[in-house]
Amino acid sequence: MENEISCNVCGGISFHKDAGFYYCNECLTQSQEVREQVFDVHEDGDENSPPIKQKITKQRRSPKSVDRLTTWECYNYILRGLVEELIGLGADVNLRKTVHILWLMYLKELEVTGDLPKVGAVHSKLDAELVYGKLSKRKRKTSTRRSSPVDSFTNESLSQRTHSKDRHSYLLAQYNEISSTLPSDDLNQSLTSLRSPSAASSDSETRLQYSKLAKKELLKTMKAGHLKRHINDTNNEHTCHKGTYKNFTRSYVEGPAVLSRIKIYALLNLALLINKDNIQLGDLIRFIREGHLSFHYINHFYPEGYDNVQFNLKTWNDGKAYPSHSWMRSITAKLAHFLNVSANIPMQNLPQLCHRYCHELNLPDEVWGYCVNLLSHITPIMAFTKNCKIIPNYEGRVMSVIIFVLKLIFGLDNETERFFFQTC
C-alpha cells in the first residue's frame, strides 16, 4: 500500500505507518490519501462472541472532475433552443441567422468575446473562478466525526505532536543549510523561482477584469483606489462591497449591461422585429403563457452529455412573473440602442397585421377593407428611431383601427353606448 501512493510535497514513495496514519520518510508529511482504521468484528455475526480487531486501510478517492459552464455558455444553449422552438411555432428560418448576429454583437458589447472575458458589476463567482481561477471563500465545516476512546485519542494526539516537532526540525535544518550556502539576494531569487508558473503570474492573471460599463457603475459606489483593491483581491477577502443586484442602481440592473432572462426574450423580440416576422410580441407572450415557448424549465436545451454538469445559471427562475407587453417593448428598445441597431428596425406591415386580426376575429372582408382604407388615409408614423424610449405598439394601433371601424359601422359612439347600458 505504501508504494501505491506518493507524497504531494517531495514526491517520495516511501512511507511509514504510525497510529493509523502514513508519513513520508523523506519530509515526514502526513498523507491525506490513505489511512488505517481498526474495527471490532464479531465472528458469524454473533454479538456474544469475543470481538476480533480487524484493520482496514481506506484510500481517499480522487474527486471527480465536474464540468462547469459559464453564464454565457448556458445562455448560448438556451438561446439556441428558444430559436428552434420559435421556428417550430411558425417563425421564419432566417431567425437563426439574425439571432446569431445579434447575440455576437451583444457579447461584444459586454466585452466577453475577447481572449479573457470581462465580468460585469453583477457577476457570478463561478464565472470568476472559471475564467480567472479565483476561488470563492468557503465556510469551514464543523467536523461531525465521532470521538474515539480516550486512550486512542491520547495516543494519536501525542503521535501527531511528535511528528509535528520532527517535521519542524527537519524544515528548520533544511532552511539553515540553504541559508548558509547562498547569499541573501540569491536566496530570495531562488525562492521566487520555485514558484509554479501559474503562481508566479497570478498577480497579472487572476485579477478581475471589469467591463467599461461595470467600472462606471462601480465607481458610483466606491472610489477608484478602493475599486483597485477589489480588482487585486485574488482571495475574495474584501466583503465590504458585494456584487448583488441591490447594491447597484436600478437603471444598471434592469439595463442591457446585465445579462438576464428578460434580455434573452427581448433579443428574440428584436430579431422578430428586424425580420418583420408574422410572430409579434403579443404572440411571443402568449406562447410563453400557454407553455409553447419554454420560460421556467430550460434544462432540456443542454446537450445530452451535460446531464450531470454543474450549471452556472441559478438565477434563471428568480422572477416568477411573466413579462408584460409594455415592459418587453421598453427592454427591447434599450437593447436596440445598446447594440446600435435602432436604424435596422423597420416599421411593421400594418395592413397585413390588420388582415390577420380580422381573420382571427372572423370579421367580414369588408371590415378589413375599411381598415386598410383608414390606414392609408391617416398613415400613422410609427418608425423607431434612436430617440425612442420604447418600441411602438403596432398591435395596439391595428386593434384600435379595427375597433373604430366596427363602432363606425354600427353607429356606436360613447353617448349611444352609455344609453344602451343604462337602458339594459
- Residue 132 and residue 124 in contact, taking contact as beta carbons nearer than 8 Å: no
Sheet holding 15-18, edge to edge: 15-18, 21-24, 30-41, 52-59
pLDDT at 237: 54
Provide the whole-model pTM: 0.65
Could you give phi then psi for residue 398, rounded to 5 degrees?
A: -65, -45
Q: Considering only 206-210, 333-337, 341-345, which range has the smallest mean pLDDT?
A: 206-210
pLDDT at 197: 37
pLDDT at 51: 58
272, pLDDT greater than 90: yes
Do strands 15-18 and 52-59 pair parallel, antiparallel, or not at all (unpaired)?
Answer: unpaired
- Residue 367 and residue 305 in contact, taking contact as beta carbons nearer than 8 Å: no
CA of 259: how far to CAs of 74, 275, 316, in Å? Answer: 11, 23, 11
The average pLDDT across 94-120 equals 85
pLDDT at 190: 35
For the chain, the residue count is: 424
Total Cβ atoms within 10 A of residue 373: 11
Same domain, 214 and 171: no
Closest CA to 237 of 120, 142, 312, 134: 134
Q: Confidence band (pLDDT; 50, 70, 90) for 196?
A: very low
The per-residue pLDDT for range 297-307, each reduced to its tens digit, is 888 888 776 65
The average pLDDT across 378-391 equals 87
Same domain, 8 and 129: no
149 lies in a domain?
A: no
Q: What is the DSSP letter of 270?
A: H
Same domain, 279 and 362: no
Q: Confidence band (pLDDT; 50, 70, 90) for 161?
A: low
The per-residue pLDDT for range 245-255, each reduced to its tens digit, is 566 677 777 88
142 lies in a domain?
A: no
Total Cβ atoms within 10 A of residue 163: 17
Same domain, 306 and 323: yes
401, pLDDT greater than 90: yes
Which domain range does residue 125 map to?
A: 71-134+208-339
H helical segments located in 46-201? 71-88, 95-109, 125-132, 150-181, 184-193, 197-200
Burial of 234 (0-12, 13-18, 19+ CB in 10 A): middle
The average pLDDT across 158-181 equals 56
The average pLDDT across 130-155 equals 51
Q: Considering only 42-56, 191-205, 385-399, which range has the smallest mean pLDDT?
A: 191-205
Cα 24 to Cα 47: distance, rounded to the nearest angstrom: 39
- Residue 67 and residue 303 in contact, taking contact as beta carbons nearer than 8 Å: no
Q: Considering only 123-137, 254-268, 278-292, which range has the smallest mean pLDDT?
A: 123-137
Q: Considering only 50-59, 318-327, 341-350, which range has the smallest mean pLDDT?
A: 50-59
| Range 103-121 burial, b when 16+ CB lie within 10 A, else e | bebbbebbbbeeeebbbbb
Same domain, 281 and 242: yes
Closest CA to 279 of 107, 102, 104, 82: 82
147 lies in a domain?
A: no
Closest CA to 59 of 3, 143, 132: 3
Same domain, 176 and 258: no
Total Cβ atoms within 10 A of residue 71: 23
Per DSSP, the residues of 45-82 read G-TTSPPEEEEEEEEPPPPPPPPB--HHHHHHHHHHHH
Q: Confidence band (pLDDT; 50, 70, 90) for 339?
A: very high
The alpha carbon of residue 193 and the mean position of all alpha carbons in its chain are separated, in whole angstroms, by 37
Same domain, 354 and 323: no
3-state DSSP call for residue 319? coil
Same domain, 268 and 318: yes
Same domain, 84 and 233: yes
Same domain, 24 and 108: no
What are the residues whose beta carbons fall under 8 Å from the beta carbon of 234, sequence distance 6 or more?
134, 202, 203, 206, 207
3-state DSSP call for residue 133? coil
Could you give phi then psi for residue 346, rounded to 5 degrees?
A: -80, 165
Q: Which of 42, 62, 82 is the last residue of a domain?
A: 62
Question: pLDDT > 90: what percent of the chain?
Answer: 29
Question: pLDDT > 70: what percent of the chain?
Answer: 54
* Cell numbers representing residue 207 in the block: 485579477
Same domain, 108 and 239: yes
Count of structural domains within the chain: 4
Same domain, 262 and 163: no
8 lies in a domain?
A: yes
